[in-house]
Amino acid sequence: MTLRTKLLVIGAIRGADGRQQLLRLGLRGHWRQRFAALLARIAALPVPTVAQFAADQKNPVPRPWKPPPPGFQPPLLPALK
């Protein structure tokens, strides 16, 4: 697999519209349309889960904690003298 990157620098400022956070970009015309299309493609990608990351790991994902059954008494340790 080859990773190719390009550096793109765009002036931007973070703002808000009501309670919605916004990133206001300094792009116009063709560049704005192209960048919006790229952002839409990124937003459409599936979000990976922990289980998907763990599939590539040597250690499996730990099972979730379950409470002990009712009436279970853990063994008591004798008092130290």
Intra-chain end-to-end CA distance of the chain, in Å: 65
pTM of the prediction?
Answer: 0.39
Q: Which two tokens stand for residue 34?
A: 């192209």
DSSP assignment of 18-63, as one string?
TTEEEEEE---HHHHHHHHHHHHHHHTSPPP-HHHHHTTSSSPPPP
Mind listing the pLDDT tens digit of every residue in the chain (81 residues)? 566 667 667 788 888 888 888 888 888 888 888 888 888 888 888 877 766 666 666 666 677 888 777 777 777 776 665
Q: Alpha-carbon torsion 75, 76, 80, 81, what sign?
A: negative
Q: Which two tokens stand for residue 29?
A: 């015309």
